[in-house]
Amino acid sequence: MGAQRKNARPRWSRRKFLVHGLIRRALLPALARADVRAAPARITSAVRRPDHAPAEPGGSGTVRSHNSAGGRLTTEVFINGVRPFHFMIDTGAERTVVAAEIASRLHLPAGPRALLEGIVRSVPTDTVRIQRLRLGRFESREFDAPTLPRIMLHVDGILGLDVLNGRRVILDFATHTLTVTGSQGFLAALWTAFDEVRIPTLGESGRLRVTDCRIDGVRAAAFVDTGADFTVSNEALFADCQKKQLALPVIGRVSLSGVTGGTAVGRVVLFDTLQLGELTLTNTPVVVADLAVFRLWGLSHQPALLVGMNCLRAFKWVSIDYGRKLLKFKVAGGASPPDSPVQQPIM
């Protein structure tokens, strides 16, 4: 016998938000193409981390974005003052990665070897020293970045938490604009409009963890991952949910691939509710798979969730403030968030 599933009506108030029918807008595209990766995670201790500094005066701080191969959100990045290159912003990646072909073209000096761990396998890789990486009006200086062939990245590089930490990323799905700006001030971070929700997080080194997360009533640790097309749970979360229900509908299987290569097969399970603080998403398809990232973060035996783009796109915009350790979601309607001018739409 299947479990009974609720048919709740949307309830709108300043304190409670309900988003319905996520499966209708997200399931079919994600089943057709699931490309979920846990980015480079563990790097040798000899690798130098970036120092942050303001860029030259006059930078706008707004990152102009567009779709590249695979529909990834990318932004223009200057390395040592050269070009713009197209890097994907990945809030699930701990390290910034550059395509080996770009590193060779720019004659970047070699750094120490590193072990790059992805969702399926680990690969040893070279690193290169970047003197200056500019993103809008922000700069990161003098750090080592791992390299991978561009055919594996599908973009010129990946911007990870080592560059994004302390800053604010805004994904505006209504205007198709991606913005990287400074962290909000204290009062601005506290203020929300009637159709916005703020969710405090915990964590360090940019790895923000939502502690007030429940999947069908089961509490889980949740992380926002803009590099993942699909939301992924570990087996521990699925097992705890099964204990609460007679059955959970498995509606398909997908093959997940990572930038380090290899594949992993996951089951697509339809969950009744996904709650993040005061937000509730209903009929939420989630891939269940024990990815390496859960092991790397010490979450193999604890219910955990990577919140991917299929959930994030249910909102008008999503703000991730690493300086304030704060998430903001705009549920529907209204103007773009502060610090999000429209410059160039995603094609």
pTM over 0.75, yes/no? yes
Per-residue model confidence (pLDDT) at position 121: 75
Per-residue model confidence (pLDDT) at position 305: 94
Distance CA 305, CA 210 (A): 10
Per-residue model confidence (pLDDT) at position 297: 83
319: β partners: 170, 328
DSSP character at residue 159: E
pLDDT in tens, the chain (347 residues): 333 334 333 333 333 456 555 544 444 444 433 444 444 434 444 456 565 544 433 333 445 454 444 556 678 899 999 989 999 888 888 889 999 999 999 999 999 999 887 777 778 999 999 999 998 888 999 999 999 999 988 899 999 888 988 899 988 888 877 888 888 888 888 888 888 999 999 987 668 999 899 999 999 999 998 888 889 999 999 999 999 876 788 999 988 877 877 788 899 999 999 999 989 999 889 999 988 888 888 898 999 999 988 899 889 999 999 999 999 999 865 444 433 322 333 32
Per-residue model confidence (pLDDT) at position 289: 92
Q: Are 232 and 303 contacting, i.e. CB atoms less than 8 angstroms apart?
A: no
Per-residue model confidence (pLDDT) at position 150: 93
Which value, to the nearest 10 degrees, does the dihedral of the CA atoms of residues 58, 346, 68, 297 take? 80
What is the β-pairing status of strands 138-148 and 51-54? antiparallel
Per-residue model confidence (pLDDT) at position 144: 95
Q: Could you tell me which residues come within 8 angstroms of residue 170 by beta carbon, excluding any fewer than 6 positions away?
A: 177, 178, 179, 180, 181, 317, 318, 319, 320, 337, 339, 340
DSSP character at residue 69: G
Q: How far is CA 166 from CA 44, 80, 247, 250, 256, in A?
A: 23, 22, 42, 39, 30
